[in-house]
Structure 1
Amino acid sequence: AKDADGAVGKLQIIADPLDATIKRVGRFGWRGTSATVLQQTSAALNSDMGVTSAMYPTHGCGLATDGTACRTADAKGAELSEQDVELIVRYASLLAVPAARHFPGQQPLGTPGDKVTAQTPAQNAAELAAENLMQARVKRGGTLFAAARCVACHTASLTTGEHKFAELRKQVIRPYTDLLLHDMGPELADNYPQGVATGQEWRTAPLWGIGLLKTINANTRYLHDGRARTIEEAVLWHGGQGEKSRERFKALSADDRQQMVDFINSL
């Protein structure tokens, strides 16, 4: 509560959909409206795809012009078995996190394909020099990122707790999020409050893997509504509790701003 920039986050507390007496911290979704991977998966199946499961056994029939067919479908029971949902949850939970790039000791971005082209010593030396330069830029970008106090919300590391999968227990992870809700100002508001989150409060988005988005989607956009075309635009849209960090970013030289972007893209 004593953060120098007033970047004080708050928890989204979620009742378990199957037992309202059980309360958990919301960690998934733009406003932390799901507490577990099971809840996030079941909610996405239901509201995004119209597929029912044990957790959400009915469709959104009230949204249909004629709900008769919808209610008839509901009467048949859940469309996905608990076993099938568990397989999806297990898959999503155990997906590997992309490795950070351009840090000392890390491999350069990309791996050789099936066809490896022989390179001259000069080409190898040029690639090594370019990688060393990028490592230096990423290191300085990380220092600038911390100096701008972006880490007040995009916390560099967290330690996991207990988990049903042994691989995920007591692990130091670096997602660059505090998983808390922060007021990002009226510019980013959508006026759609959810739980304890107002229409201009958002869960801090994790940054790990963000630099690899373009490898799976050439039309990559940023922020909750895709309004930002670049990382720099996304930073400049920060308001509210992120305003002071944004102003520090704006005050940097063009090359320093790019080095901070290089750092974010390396995560």
Structure 2
Amino acid sequence: MTLLVGVALAAAGGAVLHAAVPGDGNAPQDELTGGATTVHADGRNAFSFPAANLSDEERTRFVIGNSFFRRNWVQSPASTTARDGLGPHFIARSCGGCHVQDGRAAPPSFRKGLSDEQPVGLLLRLSVPGKEKFGFPKPEPVYGDQFANHAVQGVKPEGQIVMRWEEVSGRFADGTRYTLQKPIYGFRKLAYGPMSRDVMVSPRIAPQLIGVGLLEAIPEQEILNNAALQAASPGPIKGIPNRVYDAFAEREMIGRFGWKANAATLAHQTASAFLGDIGITSARFSREACTDAQKDCLAARNGNDPDTKVEIDDETLGNVIFYQATLAPPARRFMNDSRVEQGRQLFMQAQCATCHRPSYTTAQGPFPKLTSKALQGQTIWPYTDLLLHDMGDGLADGRPDHAASGKQWRTPPLWGVGLIKDVNGHTRLLHDGRADGILEAILWHGGEAEGSKQRVLQMNQAERAALVKFVESL
């Protein structure tokens, strides 16, 4: 990637690269987290660069997709017909409203007592016992499959989310004490009456988007191999793949995206998020997310195109999918720091790499027209097995999602985690942002990962710092 391209992207909302992508072949292999797609970048825009090996034509498509990802949609009718159709219910006005700077959202700030500060980028999934067609969770009958606390004019928001925090305390073997904060969720000002008594609620924070196209290009067999290897190995770590119906492939596939791996492809994930989070219909998600009890929502005017009968056309949606697919992972940092090497060894000794598998070689993704050949054949270092693991009672949401139980979560990739503070100004981790930093995230591990957590609890302060430094280098 040339400096001129970096400057052009800066004018379109990006930033100039911190350093050129190395091309002399002398960099350590795992420094280039995304192979030839990798960029050397830091700062607020570290997650917003295109893959370094895209063609000029693909860079243009990246910029177009970026514009529809970041800019707000508006209520219909509007003079801006290419962007009208917001709502009727919604959580954000744009994709970038949750994934700010293509990064990670955070929960409302910790406060003692009950807080009704409304989250941005933290949504609450809803369901009741049972399954729908293709095995999808059965939506709560009045409020649907996720709670929307915003609405267009003339439509009532579904209500407000309230949160309180409980302290969870413990200590390391060296006597150092720690205190974690556990969020408890609730609702108030429900606009359409009470929820079902057996409603199940699952919080989901918006994660950073770097490298998602590379994750999609990991061969399916590699994910199955991860499960088979763990099943055949001694010990409690026994990850399983989620299997979900994909609206674009029109078949069941292995889930890769979402905190419970409940979406198999970026296309499905993106189109369903347009509908559920912004209220924008598309060809495969063409019905507004209004339940029968929400009469004002059902009566609201939409922004449907007269020909397609939906609010975002296939070409525009495809450009947004392409944009996300080609967001580059930044290169590793601190490679010459001795603490990083010490932390790597501790990471391996604690068996963290069993679930956070370091490396893969990519192949072709499921929809070549929605991605780039530049992502194929790359040796990548995401540190995930893309499997579901029982993480114990402490992290359980009690809500099944396809093959995922109420205790299971997908192993999140670790690349770029040390740059979240640069990009988004916080260090909140895990599925609902409860952990403030890497060490707290580890301390929430239980279930299959209890043994790894216990090893970390035995580490002294210097060892814990080295472990964190290693993970931050990824």
Scaled by the length of structure 2, the TM-score of the pair is 0.48
How far 1:64 moved relative to its partner? 6.0
Counterpart among 389, 405, 419 of residue 212 in structure 1: 419
- Cα gap change, 1:16/1:246 in structure 2, threshold over 3 Å: closer, same or farther? same
Aligned to 1:194: 401
Higher helix share: 1
CA contact (8 A) 2:248 2:268 kept: no
- Kept after mapping to 1: 8 A contact 2:358/2:381: yes
Whether 1:8 and 2:8 are equivalent positions in the alignment is no
Cα drift, residue 14 of structure 1: 1.7
Between the aligned partners of 2:265 and 2:298, the Cα distance in structure 1 is 32
Q: Distance in 2 between matches of 1:19 and 1:74?
A: 26
Q: Partners in 1 of 2:455 and 2:272 — Cα distance?
A: 38
User: Within 5 A, what are the aligned runs for 1:29-40?
Assistant: 29-40=258-269
What residue is the counterpart of 1:87 in the other structure?
Answer: 319
SS in 2 for 1:138: helix
Is 1:162–2:162 an aligned residue pair? no
- Cα deviation, 1:117-159, whole Å, max 9, x if unaligned, reads xxxxxxxxxxxxxxxxxx1100110010001000110001122
Runs of 4+ that moved beyond 2 A: 2-5, 72-77
Q: What runs of 5+ residues in structure 2 fail to find an aligned partner?
A: 1-230
Q: Does 1:52 align with 2:310?
A: no
1:226 to partner: Cα distance: 1.1
Distance (whole Å) between structure 2 residues aligned to residue 191 and residue 36 of structure 1: 25
Structure 1 match to 2:383: 176
Query: How big is the shift at 1:220?
Result: 3.0
Distance 2:381 2:422 in 1: 21
Partner amino acid, structure 1, of 2:325 = S
1:143 aligned partner? 345
Which of 448, 453, 457 matches 1:241? 448
Matched residue, 1:153: 355
Judging changes above 3 Å, is the alpha-carbon distance between structure 1 residues 19 and 172 closer, same or farther for their aligned structure 2 residues? closer
Q: Secondary structure at the match of 2:252?
A: strand
1:31 maps to amino acid: K
Partners in 2 of 1:240 and 1:144 — Cα distance? 20
Secondary structure of the corresponding residue to residue 435 of structure 2: coil
- Please give the TM-score of this superposition, normalised by the length of structure 1: 0.84
Cross-structure match for 1:250 = 457
Note if contact 1:59-1:74 (Cα within 8 Å) is conserved in structure 2. Answer: no
* Post-superposition offset of 1:183: 0.5
- Give the gaps of 5 or more residues in structure 1: 105-134
Q: 1:74 Cα shift?
A: 8.6
Amino acid at match of 2:257: F
Taking structure 1 as reference, are residues 19 and 207 closer, same or farther at Cα in structure 2, changes over 3 Å only? Answer: closer
Sequence identity (%): 40
Q: Secondary structure at the match of 2:245?
A: strand
Quick one: which of 81, 86, 103 aligns to 2:335?
103
**Residue 23 of structure 1: SS of its match in structure 2?**
strand
Structure 1 residue 15: deviation in Å?
1.6
Q: Is the 8 A contact 1:5 1:244 kept in 2?
A: no
1:28 alignment counterpart: 257
1:18 and 1:249 mapped to 2: Cα distance? 42
Cα RMSD after superposing both structures: 1.7
- Residue 211 of structure 1 aligns with an amino acid whose one-letter code is G
Q: Which one of 199, 222, 226 corresponds to residue 433 of structure 2? A: 226
Shift of 1:170: 2.1
The AA in structure 2 aligned to 1:161 is A
Distance 1:169 1:213 in 2: 26
CA distance in 1, matches of 2:312, 2:278: 12
Aligned length: 235
